[in-house]
Amino acid sequence: MAKEQWAETAVGAVVIAAAVGFLAYSLTVGGKTGGHGYEVKARFGQVGSLAPGAVVSVAGVKVGTVSSITLDPKTYLAVVKLDLDAKTPLPADSVAKITSDGLLGGQHVTIEPGGSTDNLKPGSDIQNTQGAVDLFGLVGQFLRPPAPAGGASGSAPAPAVAPDAKAGAGA
């Protein structure tokens, strides 16, 4: 009986060691850029479901992560702080867009480099941005019929000419 308990304890220890190894690997390889990059800000009118930790990419290659999202109380724009890799300098006139991974996928920030010879500096703002697109709202607008021009009462509009059963019967 004691031999079986030692075997179970050894298997449990191996499982815990493997879990710790996977955790250490995921923290060093994936995730954030390690804090040794530079931070820039971008302001968006709509961020959709973008969340801190989301990927920032250029041409499909990860170059950073979203570090925080806050609301500017004066302009009511979402201020998104991006932690970018120090090895990837980006032109100052780059465009930041919030894009979706698919129809129901998560959202991330894509940066399209501009043509400026000056690069973004730590703490600077990306001036050109494009917010998230509400796909469900667009589909809803397409499927929903337009409201009647006469008002929003919900009733069918009155015909322009009242039908007359006798008109044209004796003519």
The domain segmentation of the chain, as residue ranges, is 1-30, 32-133
The residue to which tokens 């010879």 are assigned: 117
**How far, in Å, CA of 169 to CA of 66, rounded?**
75
Rg (CA), the chain: 28
**What pLDDT does 75 receive?**
93
Handedness of CA 30, 34, 39, 45 (dihedral sign): positive
- What percentage of residues in the chain have a pLDDT greater than 70? 70
**What pLDDT does 29 receive?**
59
Q: How far is CA 145 from the centre of its chain?
A: 29
pLDDT beneath 70, residues of the chain: 1, 25-36, 102-105, 134-139, 145, 147, 149-171
**What pLDDT does 129 receive?**
86
CA proximity to 97, closest of 42, 134, 137: 42
**What pLDDT does 32 receive?**
45
**What pLDDT does 156 receive?**
53
Handedness of CA 55, 58, 62, 65 (dihedral sign): negative
**How far, in Å, CA of 143 to CA of 129, rounded?**
29
